[in-house]
Homo-oligomer: A and B are copies of this chain.
Amino acid sequence: MDAGWLETSYMARKGVARGKAGATHELTEAKQGKYHYVYGPYAEPVLKIKPGDIVVAETKDAFEGALKSESDQPTKLLHMPFLNPQCGPIAVEGAEKGDVLAVHIRSIKPRGPQPIGTTALIPEFGGLVATTNTALLNEPLPERVKKMEVTEEGIRFNSKITLPYEPFIGTLGVSPEIEAITSLQPDYYGGNMDLPDVAPGAIVYFPVHHKEAYLYLGDCHATQGDGELCGVAVEMASTTTIQVDLIKNWPIAWPRLENERFIMTIGSTRPMEDAARIAYRELVRWLVEDYGWDKYEAYFFLTQAGRVRLGNMVDPKYTLGASIPKRYLA
Chain A residues in contact with chain B, CB under 8 A? 37-38, 40, 42, 81, 119, 121, 126-130, 132-142, 144, 146, 155, 157-158, 161, 163, 176-182, 223-234, 253, 267, 269-274, 276-278, 280-282, 284, 295-297, 299-308, 310, 313, 318, 322, 328
Contact = CB atoms under 8 A, between A and B. Distances in A.
A273 B313 contact: yes
Given A134-B277, A225-B307, A277-B136, A301 B157 contact: yes
A37 B302 contact: no
Contact of A141 (B134, B138, B302, B318): B138
A253 B139 contact: no
Contacts of A277: 127-128, 134-136, 313
Contacts of A177: 81
B274 A225 contact: no
Contact of A304 (B37, B136, B155, B328): B155
A95 B296 CA distance: 41
Count of this chain's copies in the oligomeric assembly = 4
B304 A157 contact: yes
20 contacts: A81-B178, A119-B300, A119-B304, A126-B299, A128-B299, A130-B138, A135-B278, A141-B296, A157-B305, A161-B301, A179-B180, A181-B181, A225-B303, A225-B306, A226-B306, A229-B302, A270-B271, A271-B272, A271-B273, A276-B310
A147 B234 CA distance: 47
Contacts of A81: 176-179
A232 B161 CA distance: 41
A237 to B, nearest CB: 17
A166 to B, nearest CB: 10
Given A40-B180, A81-B179, A305 B139 contact: no
